[in-house]
Amino acid sequence: MNIFSPCSGRGLSHRVNATVAELDPVGSRVIEPRMERLRLEGRPVIPVHGYPLVRSPEHVIAAANDAAGQNMSAPSGGLLKLRESLARALGEQYGYAPDPKDEILITSGAMHGLRIVLTTLLEQGDEAVVITPCYFFGGLIELAGGRVVRVRTNPSDGYTIDFNKVRSSITERTKLLVLSSPVNPTGYVYSHADVEEFIRLAEEFDFLLVSDESYDRMLFDGLEHLSPFHYMEARRRTILIKSFTKSYALPGWRVGYIAADAELIPHFRKVLEWSLLYCPYVNQCVALAALDGPQDWLFKIFAEIEQNRGQLLRGLSAAPRYQWVTPRGGPFLFLKVCDEPGDEVHIADQLLDNFGVPAVHGRHFESSGHVRIPYGGTSEAVQQLIDALVEASRVPAPSTTLP
């Protein structure tokens, strides 16, 4: 006799948390299954990326091999040696070295750091302000129970931030404002005036600044990276999140970190422990080797990415259908491809399926009419990208839409 009731014909999806059920996938991962399918079919995908993809130098590889043989685990706060080295590096960069024991937490990448911070700080109905176009902050805010408040910027004025709009978006429910410079996907870089105005608003309305600075070493045209963390009066209300994926060319190791006031770190650590107990030991040893070792190989990579940008923009001059704002940092070009909202989804699909271009459509970044194109990779790969985009732009299409 079957004493268990069979599942109803409704299936199982109705049992999923409503917030998760309504959540979009992470935009950059949406195209991964399509790229995998194309490769299985023997169809090429142009090897450009949103991060440096190079063979690690021998001292980093040696650290990985040595750590793997030890079969160790790390404390939930992260290896103290790594935190101590990070404190020194942050002191050199920002003029302030956080206490490595109490003010730094190692995470499994910057995305994990963002998840920890937003989960810790946001309660149901709290508002988090984001400046759009932006990275995929919205899903993380919604997962934490928060409400996303968007302040839009426009390509017509180079994505300059209108602080009157920012001010008008702030309410009594505003808990934090998420910052990110250089901006993914536009390449906009914050000025001194931008950062100082963010600080003034945070002080006036008493909210926190969550600053994702994953591309802090990837700036062009002689620009310098600027952060609220540079300002002594802003450090206590700033949560700094950074990534070894971009800054130290370690995409496969998933190491990031949070630097914040000592009152907050224990709470962040609790959320980390309840999500994965601790971050991998080997990965942290690799990050330490990259951080403490020679830096020349990294500076060379960042210079090459800036060269890639110039090569791509020169090449796209042969494709007048496209429009863009020149990125001042980061490894992406946010390309305007149509005027009709929604057409960019079709265009991104066709760019990948027909031309091998790994394009992510702009709606994932809170901006219609655009696609995000990465240009991290070799000069040869960038030339393939140029050829494909120029070819795509020449195919006849109705209205402003590519076929």
pLDDT, tens digit, 9 for 90 and up, residues 205-224: 999 999 999 999 999 999 99
What residues contact 402, with CB distance under 8 A and at least 6 apart?
321, 337, 338, 346, 347, 350, 351, 392, 393, 395
Select from 237, 379, 214 the least CA-distant residue to 306.
379
What residues contact 40, with CB distance under 8 A and at least 6 apart?
none
| pTM score | 0.93
Q: Is the dihedral of CA 314, 315, 318, 323 positive or negative?
A: negative
What CATH fold (topology level) applies to the domain 58-292?
Answer: Aspartate Aminotransferase; domain 2 (3.40.640)
d(CA 240, CA 229): 7
For 60-115, what is each residue's pLDDT tens digit?
999 999 999 999 999 999 999 999 999 999 999 999 999 999 999 999 999 999 99
Domain ranges of the chain: 18-55+296-394, 58-292
The tokens of 292 are what?
A: 């403490």
d(CA 51, CA 33): 19
List the 323-324 sheet strands across, edge first. Answer: 323-324, 332-336, 370-374, 360-361
DSSP lists the bridge partners of residue 327 as: none
Superfamily of 18-55+296-394 according to CATH: Aspartate Aminotransferase, domain 1 (3.90.1150.10)
Q: Is the pLDDT of residue 354 over 50?
A: yes
For 360-402, what is each residue's pLDDT tens digit?
999 999 889 999 999 999 999 999 999 999 999 987 654 444 4
Q: What percentage of residues in the chain have a pLDDT greater than 70?
A: 96
> Fold match between 18-55+296-394 and 58-292?
no
For 122-163, what is each residue's pLDDT tens digit?
999 999 999 999 999 999 999 999 999 999 999 999 999 999
Average pLDDT on 338-345 reads 90
How sure is the predictor about 29, in pLDDT bands with cuts at 50, 70 and 90? confident
